[in-house]
Amino acid sequence: MKLSEMKTNDELITEQLRTDPEFRAEWERTALARAVAVAIVRYRADHDLSQRELAECLGMKQPQVARLELGEVNPSMETLMRVSAQLGIEFTIDVRPAGTTVRNITKRAHANHLVGSVRTSEAEVLVSAR
């Protein structure tokens, strides 16, 4: 198979979301966790920090930072507050009924800072971090 014939990661995820209800449920459940993971990994890379160094900044242990970066478990409000306060990352979380207008996340933030999004038939979640 040629490289050009291979599916991208996004295409594979889209296919799984469409065809695998269990995968879709887990994907939706961990939307916030994935968004926070992207923001933390981005911060760490931008500041050339190791997980251990970032953990020290956050008053955590390195394995806690590793778990946050995996994006498999939704962080607590306390953890979000700690990350925001220590790293200066602003999280905006917009949870609303499906089909309603986004009010809490501006178009600019949506275009430039959106790091997580999940839409079901009943609701939509957007997470912006900057």
Domain boundaries, given as residue ranges, for the chain: 10-129
Mean pLDDT computed over every residue of the chain: 85
CATH 3.40.50.620, domain 10-129, yes or no = no
Label residue 115 by pLDDT band (50, 70, 90).
low
Look up residue 85 and give its two tokens: 């306060």
Does 100 have pLDDT greater than 90?
Answer: no
User: Do 116 and 31 contact (CB within 8 A), yes or no?
Assistant: yes
> What pLDDT score was predicted for residue 106?
66
Residues in contact with 111: Cβ distance below 8 Å, sequence separation at least 6, in sequence order = none
